[in-house]
Amino acid sequence: MIKSRTLCLAVVFSALAGGGISTAEAQSTGLSPPPIQYPQIQPPQVPVYGAVPPTNLNPLPQNSFSDRATQCLQIGAAAGLSPGSNGLYASGC
């Protein structure tokens, strides 16, 4: 009984320790895994000291007071406000 248990343990340990195919055998038989493909990582661009940043030459659209007041009066009229209520609405706008 003890001999069979020892024999079983020896077989299990030998199988776990090196019962597989060696590296040289795997390469000669073509069973080697394919090489690992790593993604290309691009480092971030570091700003250069003294370089002029790109400028946006287009001016921002700005509404004058007249444009905003006219728009408020038109919105109030479209909502169906009376002229007196529309004036109060435009003054709060």
Write out 32-75 in H/E/C secondary structure.
CCCCCCCCCCCCCCCCCCCCCCCCCCCCCCCCCHHHHHHHHHHH
**Which residue is associated with the tokens 């728009």?**
71
- Interior angle at CA 57, CA 54 and CA 63, nearest 5: 135
Domain that holds residue 72: 65-93
Establish if 58 belongs to a structural domain.
no
Count: domains in the chain: 1
Establish if 70 belongs to a structural domain.
yes
Check if the beta carbon of residue 56 is closer than 8 Å to that of residue 77. no
Establish if 92 belongs to a structural domain.
yes
**Most confidently modeled range among 17-21, 31-35, 68-72:** 68-72
pLDDT tens-place string over residues 22-46: 555 555 666 777 888 888 999 888 8
Establish if 39 belongs to a structural domain.
no
